[in-house]
Amino acid sequence: MELLSEVGYERLTTAHIAQRAGVSKGAQAHHYSCKDDMLVAAFEHLLMQWEERREAYARTLGNGARMEDLLTNMWRQVFGRPDYLASLEVMLAARHHPSLRERLQALLQTWTAARDATFNEIVPLADPEELATFMQINFCVLRGLAVYKGLAEDRALPQRVLDMWVRIAEAFVDGRTSPAASSGTTPAKRQPKRKPKP
């Protein structure tokens, strides 16, 4: 996946992979018949690493878990890492390769279910549809930030964007789970001040 992030899917060849791995083409062909087989194996290994990090984080969860902890962990352990961009490259390439797409989707099902369960455990939104939508909004922000990170001239900007998004996400959850929100009432609107009559 590291090599893929350097050269891209279209330029990646089995010769490149064999050279980076330090094995002969014959030994490589014995285990993997084509480039896609190697990519699927690498993708599966990457998902295993993500799952190990997710499980380690899940073990630390308690009643005090916050959106900030969740989003920061997801950024540091998955979305903000170079191998995430490599995984995006594979997934984008799979759009035009049905067999590769099916294999990747099968691998992703278990990981995404576990990832979503961790998110749902921390975010206290009662409406399942709203929770699912809010979760995907967060993932879209993190994916976009991962792509932007490689393009940003200001290296500190991605972290500032993440920090601001954390505050926005926390404010949304707080607003939806406050006593006023749960009771179905809304704060009274402030009445505009009237000018005194002359």
Residue 157 neighbours by CB distance under 10 Å = 13
pLDDT at residue 138 in the model: 96
Q: What is the pTM of this model?
A: 0.74
CA 74, distance to chain mean position in Å, is 6
- What pLDDT digit, counting tens, does each position of 128-163 carry? 999 999 999 999 999 999 999 888 888 899 999 999
Predicted confidence (pLDDT) at residue 74 exceeds the cutoff of 70: yes
Domain for residue 12, yes or no? no
- Indicate the pLDDT class of residue 187, thresholds 50, 70 and 90: very low
Domain for residue 57, yes or no? yes
Residue with tokens 């406050």: 178
- Contacts of 158 by beta carbon, 8 Å cutoff, 6+ apart: 80, 145, 148, 149, 152
State how far the Cα of 2 lies from the Cα of 82, in Å rounded to an integer.
Answer: 7
- How many domains in the chain? 1
Residue with tokens 């690498």: 42
Range of the domain at 69: 34-177
- Indicate the pLDDT class of residue 164, thresholds 50, 70 and 90: very high
- What pLDDT digit, counting tens, does each position of 79-126 carry? 998 889 888 888 888 888 888 899 999 999 988 999 999 898 889 899
Domain for residue 63, yes or no? yes
For residues 148, 150, 154 and 157, what is the CA-based torsion angle, rounded to 10 degrees? Answer: 40
